[in-house]
Amino acid sequence: MSPGLDEAATQQFFLHRVLRILAVLGLLYGSLALLNAIVYFASFGWGRGRPWPSWVPLGRGISYSFYILAMASISALQIVGSWGLWRWCAWSRRVLIIWAAVAIMAGTVNTITYLISTVQALSATTQPTGISVPYVIWTMFASLLTSATLAVVTLLVMTQKSVADLWAPRGTSAFPVVPFAQAVVAHDSADSTIAS
């Protein structure tokens, strides 16, 4: 086997390992997030008059329950996409791209609305709070980066052309053509072009 084909096979093996690791991390992270939502509802029920945060757009009570359900739905989407990736299903790539984009947007909107609410609450009070606004901004920004890291990495990996090519249809046969066979076909067609 030529060095070029050996290097391509090594890169292919590495890419498969990376995708396997992403699938496992996605299953673990999504399961924990979904479990968190289930434990929340088991503990507090469905809008039982709990004083929900003022930054929830629809107000109090059941609207925050819908927010938690939305977060649980995002987690379920991650679990489905990660399971599909583990099973090596072609649709898993699209599902994980959608999950990553939605998770990043939801986290960003959540952080911004919480920061606006916090800054407004701090500026409205005349009592000393002992909370620094720059510190609150920094901690929320750091929290967003920490929670969105897996989504960002997943989005970057899944949008790579080499990952998209893994599930691209090759030829008309029922099985994908192995790289060595593709190289031989390309070599044979180059020889026939030179001969003609």
| DSSP secondary structure, the chain, as one string | --HHHHHHHHHHHHHHHHHHHHHHHHHHHHHHHHHHHHHHHHHHTTT-S----TTSTT-STHHHHHHHHHHHHHHHHHHHHHHHHHTT-THHHHHHHHHHHHHHHHHHHHHHHHHHHHHHHHHH--S-----HHHHHHHHHHHHHHHHHHHHHHHHHHTSHHHHHHTS--SSSSSPPPHHHHHHHHHHHHHHHHH-
Residue 76 lies in a domain: yes
Residue that wins the pLDDT comparison between 190 and 175: 190
C-alpha distances in Å from residue 146, one per residue of 86, 94, 150: 24, 23, 8
Residue 98 lies in a domain: yes
Distance CA 49, CA 16 (A): 49
Residue 105 lies in a domain: yes
Distance CA 56, CA 117 (A): 10
Res 152: pLDDT: 94
Residue 180 lies in a domain: no
Distance CA 195, CA 184 (A): 16
Residue with tokens 């290097």: 7
pLDDT higher than 70, residue 61:
no
pLDDT higher than 70, residue 49:
no
Res 116: pLDDT: 82
Distance CA 85, CA 18 (A): 11
- Give the lowest-confidence range in 63-72, 125-134, 150-159, 172-181: 172-181
Most confident of 68-77, 79-88, 126-135: 79-88
Res 178: pLDDT: 47
Number of domains in the chain: 1
1-30, pLDDT tens digit by residue? 455 667 777 888 888 899 999 999 999 999
pLDDT higher than 50, residue 135:
yes
What is the pTM (predicted TM-score) of this model? Answer: 0.71
* Residues 72-98, mean pLDDT to the nearest whole number: 94
Residue 22 lies in a domain: yes
Length of the chain: 196
Residue 83 lies in a domain: yes
Residue 6 lies in a domain: no
Residue that wins the pLDDT comparison between 11 and 78: 78
Distance CA 179, CA 141 (A): 45
Residue type at 181 in one-letter notation:
A
User: Which band of pLDDT confidence, cut at 50, 70 and 90, is reported for residue 55?
Assistant: very low
User: Which band of pLDDT confidence, cut at 50, 70 and 90, is reported for residue 189?
Assistant: low
Residue 155 lies in a domain: yes
Q: Which two tokens stand for residue 86?
A: 């583990």
- Domain assignment of residue 28, given as a range: 11-168
* Residue 97 φ/ψ, nearest 5 degrees: -65, -45
Distance CA 66, CA 194 (A): 67
Residue that wins the pLDDT comparison between 79 and 107: 79
Res 52: pLDDT: 44
Res 100: pLDDT: 96
Res 19: pLDDT: 93
Q: Which of 94, 93, 111, 98 is nearest to 147 (CA)?
A: 111
pLDDT higher than 90, residue 157:
yes
Residue that wins the pLDDT comparison between 144 and 35: 35
Q: Which two tokens stand for residue 44?
A: 């507090």
Mean pLDDT (the chain) is 77
